[in-house]
């Protein structure tokens, strides 16, 4: 079965793989009109977007997955200051 593969495969223009399966299951198990994201997405979005913790959701093939709802873009004043403003430098 394609969902057991550890890499992405393209078949006739369709994409299959664990990331696509996770996104599909997150969409299916979300509440109507809301965007539900995984920890990886939350980690990347947290600086510029407001997210609401939803908690773990059981997803077939993935087990219990921690999830968040995307609420919207943060205002410019609510964002964290850049590292340079804090006297730190990026690695």
Predicted confidence band of residue 56 (pLDDT cuts 50, 70, 90)? very high
**Reported pTM:** 0.67
pLDDT in tens, 4-39: 445 555 666 666 788 889 999 999 999 999 999 999
3-state SS track over the chain? CHHHCCCCEEECCEEECHHHHHHHHHHHCCCCCCEEEEHHHHHHHCCCEEEEEEEEEEECCCEEEEEEEEEEECCCCCCCCCHHHHCCCCC
């Amino acid at each position: 079965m394609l969902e057991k593969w550890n890499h992405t495969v393209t078949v006739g223009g369709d994409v299959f793989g664990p990331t696509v399966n996770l996104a599909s299951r997150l969409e299916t198990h979300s509440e109507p009109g809301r965007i539900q994201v995984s920890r990886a997405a939350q980690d990347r979005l947290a600086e510029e977007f407001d997210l609401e913790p939803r908690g773990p959701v059981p997803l077939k093939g993935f087990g219990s997955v921690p999830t968040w709802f995307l609420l919207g873009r943060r205002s410019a004043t609510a964002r964290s200051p850049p590292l340079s403003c804090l006297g730190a430098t990026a690695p």
